[in-house]
Structure 1
Amino acid sequence: MAEKEGAEIKKGAEGLKWAISLYEEFGFPAGLMPFTNVVEAGLVRSTGYWWVTIKKKMEHKFKKIGRLIVYDREMSGYIKKNRLWKLNGVKAKEPLFSAAISEITVDDPPTGNIRFKSIWGITLAYPIDAFDPNQ
């Protein structure tokens, strides 16, 4: 795939550790990635294209905000400081439907909030500490 050309790629446990460090480097909480079963993680620094592949699709409930998030086997998009966009493979699961998340931003200047935008243009803000990996 042309988007992955020139990528730095890490696999397995090393890929997980590296992916979490990338999230933190770009201003995101490590808890946005609550999985441990990483197959591969990659980043093309020149374009910001990144991806993470996990062994199988999974769901995770963020207790502090009461939201269930579904992570597909492969997630991808573009990343820069405080912004993930053109996001694929992440959905917020609601009682009657699932809403694909297309963008995640951390407020800059910092307000303590992180914002999630759906493909329908609806944006919801949550406290960034709700995504603390120790919760």
Structure 2
Amino acid sequence: MSAVTEEIKASATEVYHGNEMCQIKSKFILREMGLPNGLLPLKDMEECGYVKETGFVWLKQKKRTDHTFQKIGKLTSYANEVTAVIEKGKIKKLTGVKTKELLFWIKLSDIYVDDPPTGKITFKTPTGLYRTFPTSAFEIEGCEEPSGQVKEV
């Protein structure tokens, strides 16, 4: 069951289809909000959308994917639908994202960077537990310019 209703889609400021365009736009929105552009490394995206008035964002991919953030050795799982409310320096009400801690998969609910910036990013669970990492572990170097133009690597 999708959390993204037709009503939400109708109120969206931006809706994009196809992996290439969704990759560009999702990274651009993250950068625009002051967040690392590699936070949501989804694959084979079919649709992404953004409701500017509420900050609601959704990303849909063909199937669930796992990603290891090499710089910190963290395995993260992304459902075929990821939703969140995004604002400057914060992602709230995150759904569809889990991280592996020891033997358990733990849901993430909030992500935020410090203001003023300290080079740290914090991930919170619905139970209030949190972990902090360097923001550089979630950056994709040379991927995109803030103007939204794709840079040749």
* Pair in the same fold by TM > 0.5: yes
Structure 1 or 2: larger strand share?
Answer: 1
Extract unaligned runs of 5+ from structure 1: none
Partner of 1:86: 93
**Deviation readout 1:20-73 (Å, 9 max, x if unpaired):** 100100111111122341110100001111100011100011111111000000
Structure 1 residue 65 corresponds to structure 2 residue 109:
no
Matched letter for residue 41 of structure 2: P
Alignment check: 8 A CA contact 1:51 1:76 kept: yes
The answer to whether structure 1 residue 16 and structure 2 residue 23 are counterparts is: yes
Instruction: Assess if the C-alpha contact under 8 Å between 2:31 and 2:37 holds in 1.
Output: yes
Is it true that 1:47 corresponds to 2:54 in the alignment? Answer: yes
Which of 102, 117, 122 is the aligned partner of 1:110? 117
Report the alpha carbon displacement of residue 80 of structure 1 after superposing the two structures with TM. 0.4
TM-score, with normalisation over the residues of structure 1? 0.94
CA distance in 2, matches of 1:78, 1:24: 15
- CA–CA distance in 1 between the matches of 2:9 and 2:121? 27
In 1, the alpha carbon distance for the partners of 2:106 and 2:9 equals 26
Alpha-carbon shift at residue 79 of structure 1 (Å): 0.5
- The equivalent of 2:38 in structure 1 is 31
Does the residue aligned with 2:26 lie in a helix, a strand or coil?
helix
Cα deviation, residue 88, structure 1: 0.1
Partner-residue secondary structure (3-state), 2:131: strand
Tell me if structure 2 keeps the 8 A contact 1:113–1:128. Answer: yes
- Structure 2 unaligned blocks of 5 or more: 142-153
Structure label with greater radius of gyration: 2
1:4 Cα deviation from its structure 2 partner = 3.5
Whole-angstrom distance in 2 between the partners of 1:90 and 1:62: 14
TM-score normalized by structure 2?
A: 0.83
Alignment partner of 1:95 out of 102, 108, 126: 102
